[in-house]
Structure 1
Amino acid sequence: MFISTYYVKMLCHVLLLWMISRTEGTLDSRYVKTRVIKELKRCKESMMPLADVLSSDFIGCGVECTANKECRRFMFDTETNLCSLFDFGANCPTGEHVDNKVCYRQEFVCNEVSCFRCPLGYYGDRCQHVATECAEVKGTLMDIDQNQHVLAFIRPSPTGPVIQVRCAIKSTGWWTAIQRRRKGCKEVDFNRTWDEYVDGFGDTHGEYWLGLKHAYDIIQLKGPCRLLIVWWLNDKTRHSAYYNGFNLTDASNGYNISLSGMQERDNATDYLTDGSYSIAGRPFSTYDRDFSGYGCPERLNGGWWYPRTPNCSLMNPSGRLLEDDTEASLRWDDNLINASKAYSFTLNVQCSY
């Protein structure tokens, strides 16, 4: 009798849930299939597994994940039978072929009384609540060292979708990444439309943009907020700065940015609020909705809050990673206004502090 591929897959998924729950007796586990994403091998941070074990099939791999208290996601290679267990995140990045791999993320592990293992960012006796920002995620997971990054789920608006974000853990608390650039990862094109910058794009395991509407929702619900910028130059020197005051207007006003109270760290120059290059009070600009007055989004290869000056900006977090042209490259200029090519760049918001 002929059985369609769809029903075979559905039967396998049901069997996975049943097998995992049965192996733990009174425990109930649930997994959902997600994506396997091609990534550069140099982007190691998001591809380091908790453990690699051999398994006969993806069902056995799910059993291994449920048995490991740190596991919340697994990837199974159907050719090698390699089962890779991971702690956080929804999708599975790999530097190898994707066609022979499947990825599942855990929705919960519960007993008869409550759920004691939820996806990071979810909480409650049945994993029914979701954090608004990374500062709230901290309360759901305490055993993480400073200067680490984790992937977590948040719901910036009570009526909006649940999204995955990158959380930066610093001595000043947990921060939600609005933007992340990194040379070791697959480059994401930041020369995007207005709608894409509003909604967000990229992948949180590598380079991404959170989305203006999500940043706005976090600020409106949890403000007052502050902004943290961290970047590494190609010579591997670290720079950072934060602003004690950070706010955005709504979409109808162009998501105008407000910044105040800049604190310098690591010799960071204030290229965001100082002098004629200040972006304070400026609307966000993209190539299809340009408020800069000088064609800055096209010249610098991406959206940003551009100051009203012919030089557009002394820094370019949306620039190209391998661009030789100084203006369109990922850069943060030094005090002599000489372009310093950046290796990585993150823009982070924190409101519950």
Structure 2
Amino acid sequence: MNELDTLVDQARAAFAGARAPAELENAKAQFLGKSGRVTELMKGLAQLPVDEKKSRGAAINVAKQAIEAALTARRQELADAELNAQLQAEALDVTLPGRRRAGGGLHPVARAQERIEAIFASMGFDVADGPEIETDWFSFTSLNNPPNHPARSMQDTFYVDMKDDDGQLFNLRPHTSPMQVRYAQAHARQYAGQETMPDIRVIAPGRTYRVDSDATHSPMFHQVEGLWIGQNVSFKDLKVMYLDFIQAFFETSALKLRFRPSYFPFTEPSAEIDIMFEQGPLAGRWLEVSGSGQVHPQVVRNMGLDPEKYIGFAFGSGIDRLAMLRYGVSDLRLFFDGDLRFLNQFQ
């Protein structure tokens, strides 16, 4: 074996001993670098006679090519080993059951709202939806609550830095009552010029906003407004309708209903609605669940109707309040804290 064969074997052994790409590059420099052994042999050709230089150069090139081939092969081996290690570390056992993302569910307040909508729909009520950013006229003036009226302090709300056509600031609606007027106006226009008009029966559930926050109040809360107007609608209809609703909502007939005199600018007379369960942990206590009353004649006019011909009632119930009573929740803030430990109980 000549010195060139020995050099190739030494290079192969050095490359085989490299366990990482960096070590392989160091081994390469010993043989193929600027000061490597093959490079030194090439430089020595200058000292040889012309006839010997040709054969010696050819032999050195053959050895160089063999060393480069060994280097390339070892590089590929190291790359394959690294890939196999990565694949092994990231391997998936396809025989195991898949990991599914946990499914979501309806929020308890949304569940309560869906239940309310279904119950009233079964009674023939439409479900209306409207803007949460309202004009001053729809939020207050149309509901017999003109500017500077003291009743406005009862519904301290949030305002948007933008003015409506009357120069009043837009507001985040403090109740869903504006939908009474919006829906009734559309209904009146639809049947304008006709001798008879079907009764207006509608509920308007949705988000409302007031500057209020404690265990039973939130700056953002949910309310369902109800309206029934016709030519022969009375408080008797309100009592029967609301009793049917509340019994269906709580799935029990073991509860009582009472009306307490109250004041709202958009109804006259007005009444608070209380319920009392005859069974369960809340039995024997009167609980306020809604405000109600006969729609004020001025509000009927603002709806585009004749108060001498049309009469009816309205009510407004807190969906969050009803959900608290249905699910036995004592602090309203739990609904909106986003704690999955609490919310998962309702799925």
TM-score by structure 2 length? 0.21
Higher relative contact order (CA 8 A, sep 6+): 2
TM-score, normalised via structure 1 length: 0.21
